[in-house]
Amino acid sequence: MAVTPERPGAQEWVPEEPTLDRLRSAVDGCRGCELYADATQGVMGDGPPQAPLVVVGEQPGDQEDRAGEPFVGPAGRLLDQALESAGIDPGSVFRTNAVKHFRFSGTRGKQRIHKGPSRVHVAACQPWLLAELDVVRPRGVVLLGATAGQSVYGSAFRVGASRGQRLEWPESLALPRPPDWVVPTTHPSSVLRSRQRTEDLAALVADLQVAAGLL
Ligand code: URA
Ligand code: SF4
């Protein structure tokens, strides 16, 4: 993906010997793409440092941007509920996002309207996700939605084609100890927006059960 002087990618801001604390303090200084400029802060992942499962979302939303923590808003609450229904203790999971800064287009009253990241932002931000995975070294990874899927498998990735399946970590993305498996599924925000919420939540839980069975 095009690296430009204005959008050099995150690599040069990622600490050489990362720990979760070092990543958290370094992300605020990242100028790997232009999204830092309008966001409140960078939001790194959160959860047990040796979690067996890492769940990857899209990017922080309005509430996450203010709090500096991932998945603290409505999507996070639905995610917790779905994890529990699938038999996974939400407290055992490390949650993070493909992109670490909130993106929005305009405001509605006090609320800022979320705008999904572009491919260029996903590519620019990927070094942070790889650094987190290198520190946590989970057994498995669940990818929530197209953005997370594209961050790992590239822009041709489609959720519908692979959700609920056990995939291999791609060899093209070097990690010293890659996860044993990856399971893609839909994003909890799309369940929240759905008109067939009950069915879509059940499908999300079924995919998470696949991950639970592999843990
Ligand atoms: N949606 C995401 O993808 N990530 C968050 O942290 C919150 C909402
Ligand atoms: Fe850096 Fe990612 Fe933020 Fe862009 S979105 S400035 S690459 S942390």
Assess whether the C-beta atom of 191 lies below 6 angstroms from ligand 2: no
pLDDT at site 107: 83
Block residue for tokens 């919420």? 197
The helix-helix angle for 119-136 and 145-153 (nearest 10°) equals 80
Domain at 10-214: CATH code:
3.40.470.10
Q: Is 10 in contact with 128 (CB distance < 8 Å)?
A: yes
Distance 73 CA to ligand 2 centre (A): 21
Residue 131 has what pLDDT? Answer: 98
3-state DSSP helix/strand/coil % of the chain, to nearest 5: 40, 15, 40
Q: What pLDDT, on a 0 to 100 scale, did the predictor assign at position 1?
A: 55
Task: Give ligand 1 pocket residues (Cβ under 6 A).
Answer: 57-61, 64, 70-71, 73, 75-76, 97, 189
User: Residue 5's pLDDT is what?
Assistant: 81
Phi, psi of 178 (to 5 degrees): -70, 155
How many A from CA of 58 to the centre of ligand 1? 6
Question: Which pLDDT does position 110 carry in this prediction?
Answer: 79
Six-digit token pair at 108? Answer: 């509605």
172-188: pLDDT as tens digits:
999 999 999 999 999 99
List the chain residues with pLDDT less than 70: 1-2
